[in-house]
């Protein structure tokens, strides 16, 4: 009786374990697919819309390409490894996967720095930087991000000596404490400090511009109400127009000036609104990035100095939280930018008609 009950318990336990593995695989696969599709749509939207083909959006498209590579080269293999908790793909695939993981994730983080740097120059030195803000400059910034990412991912390749038949796990060796410090600071801590400093300056500059526009905006409203189509303040309030007079004729040049002034104020108001929205978007991206990646990089440093602190489930959770940032980035850009929204909806309608 005891043997039969033990056997029944083992069967129930294995069934629950299998159900959990299948559920976990389904959730992680769904995240991977959503990451692939969202980044692919951002790339397609920019490539199909001439209005979005600017140097600034070239950087956004490059970030989407990087996050797309994370979803194609890194996440599918990680789904299998997370579910099975055992490496079955051999040494070569392990080396390629780890290198792709470090390179693509680091490049994604550095792209956020590049975008923030571009935004910082655009808002603090608008006139001069508009001349320098070319596709070539953007390509150079992207290339720099990738070179740094590759330089961080290469060192582990030189000390991995495990043989394929002996390999049961695939991870970067945390015994090399100097590499752990070098990689975590190069891939996260230094870029994060740079991002915080840049965002702080961007926020201050944007705030100055918005406050500068406020009194001009109010003055513009007063002028408009007092010079309604050449009428007097009294006629504007009563809903009628006074007949033309010598005073009206002599003030025609003033009306033109007011009209031009109103147009300039409206243009400045729209520009200020865009600055405010772009700054808010950058802040949301920065916040999402820190929430997603900070736990992983703190835990990586802790594990490097405390072997008993490592727990596979916790490490997997923090890893996937970091990967989630590659899904969040395109969603934020698509939802917060009106031009992206319109182009995205237009692309979706075109796809639906084509199908």
We report the CATH number of the domain holding residue 79 as 1.20.1070.10
More confident residue, 215 or 308: 308
Average pLDDT over residues 306-330: 91
Q: What pLDDT score was predicted for residue 214? A: 56
- Confirm whether 94 is domain-assigned: yes
Instruction: Give CA–CA dist 44/46, Å, rounded.
Output: 6
Reported as a single tens digit per residue, the pLDDT across 58-105 is: 999 999 999 999 999 999 999 999 998 888 888 888 889 999 999 999
Distance of CA 97 to the CA centre of its chain: 23
Average model confidence (pLDDT) for the chain? 78
Reported as a single tens digit per residue, the pLDDT across 48-59 is: 878 888 888 899
**3-class secondary structure, 88:** coil
Q: What pLDDT score was predicted for residue 285? A: 86
DSSP H or E run through 284: helix 252-305
% the chain with pLDDT above 70: 70
For the chain, the domain total comes to 1
Sign of the torsion formed by the C-alpha atoms of 239, 240, 241 and 247? negative
* Dihedral over alpha carbons 319, 181, 171, 157 (to 10 degrees): 130
- Confirm whether 62 is domain-assigned: yes
Give the structural domain span for 315. 15-202+310-354
Instruction: Give CA–CA dist 313/184, Å, rounded.
Output: 21
- In the predicted structure, residue 168 carries a pLDDT above the cut 80: no
Q: Give the confidence band of 236 by pLDDT, cuts at 50, 70, 90.
A: very low
Instruction: Give CA–CA dist 234/238, Å, rounded.
Output: 6
More confident residue, 130 or 318: 318
- Confirm whether 318 is domain-assigned: yes
Ranges 93-102, 170-179, 231-240, 288-297: which has the least confidence: 231-240
Q: What pLDDT score was predicted for residue 185? A: 94
Ranges 184-193, 200-209, 217-226: which has the least confidence: 217-226
CA neighbor of 138 nearest in space, from 46, 59, 64: 59
Cα end-to-end span (Å), the chain: 62
- Confirm whether 302 is domain-assigned: no
Average pLDDT over residues 210-222: 55
Q: What pLDDT score was predicted for residue 237? A: 40
- Confirm whether 254 is domain-assigned: no
Ranges 95-104, 111-120, 177-186, 222-231: which has the least confidence: 222-231
- Confirm whether 5 is domain-assigned: no
Ranges 64-68, 88-92, 236-240, 267-271: which has the least confidence: 236-240
Distance of CA 333 to the CA centre of its chain: 7
- In the predicted structure, residue 1 carries a pLDDT above the cut 90: no
Predicted TM-score of the model (pTM): 0.78
- Confirm whether 97 is domain-assigned: yes
Q: What pLDDT score was predicted for residue 178? A: 86
Indicate the DSSP class of residue 306. -
% the chain with pLDDT above 90: 36
Average pLDDT over residues 19-31: 92
- Confirm whether 88 is domain-assigned: yes
Q: What pLDDT score was predicted for residue 37? A: 93
Reported as a single tens digit per residue, the pLDDT across 114-133 is: 999 998 888 888 778 888 88
* Dihedral over alpha carbons 266, 271, 277, 282 (to 10 degrees): -170
């Amino acid at each position: 009786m005891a043997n039969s009950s033990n056997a029944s318990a083992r069967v129930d336990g294995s069934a629950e374990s299998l159900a959990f593995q299948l559920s976990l695989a389904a959730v992680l696969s769904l995240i991977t697919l959503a990451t692939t599709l969202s980044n692919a749509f951002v790339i397609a939207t920019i490539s199909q819309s001439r209005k979005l083909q600017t140097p600034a959006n070239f950087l956004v498209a490059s970030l989407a390409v990087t996050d797309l590579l994370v979803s194609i080269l890194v996440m599918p293999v990680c789904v299998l490894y997370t579910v099975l908790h055992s490496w079955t793909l051999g040494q070569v695939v392990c080396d390629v996967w780890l290198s792709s993981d470090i390179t693509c994730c680091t490049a994604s983080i550095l792209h956020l720095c590049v975008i923030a740097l571009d935004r910082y120059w655009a808002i603090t030195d608008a006139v001069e930087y508009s001349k320098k803000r070319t596709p070539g400059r953007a390509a150079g910034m992207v290339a720099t991000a990738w070179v740094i990412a590759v330089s961080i991912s290469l060192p582990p390749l030189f000390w991995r000596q495990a043989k394929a038949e002996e390999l049961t796990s695939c991870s970067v060796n945390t015994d090399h404490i100097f590499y752990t410090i070098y990689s975590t600071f190069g891939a996260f801590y230094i870029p994060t400090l740079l991002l915080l400093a840049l965002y702080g300056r961007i926020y201050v500059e944007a705030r100055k511009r918005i406050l500068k526009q406020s009194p001009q905006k109010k003055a513009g409203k007063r002028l408009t109400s007092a010079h309604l189509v050449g009428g007097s303040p009294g006629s504007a309030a009563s809903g009628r127009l006074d007949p033309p007079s010598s005073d009206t004729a002599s003030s025609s040049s003033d009306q033109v000036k007011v009209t031009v002034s109103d147009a300039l104020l409206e243009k400045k108001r729209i520009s200020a609104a865009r600055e405010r929205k772009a700054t808010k978007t950058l802040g949301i991206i920065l916040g999402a990035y820190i929430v997603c990646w900070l736990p992983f990089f703190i835990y990586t440093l802790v594990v490097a100095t405390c072997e008993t602190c490592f727990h596979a489930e916790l490490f997997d959770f923090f890893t996937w939280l970091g990967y989630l940032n590659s899904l969040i980035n395109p969603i934020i850009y698509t939802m917060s930018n009106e031009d992206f929204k319109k182009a995205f909806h237009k692309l979706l309608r075109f796809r639906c008609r084509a199908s």
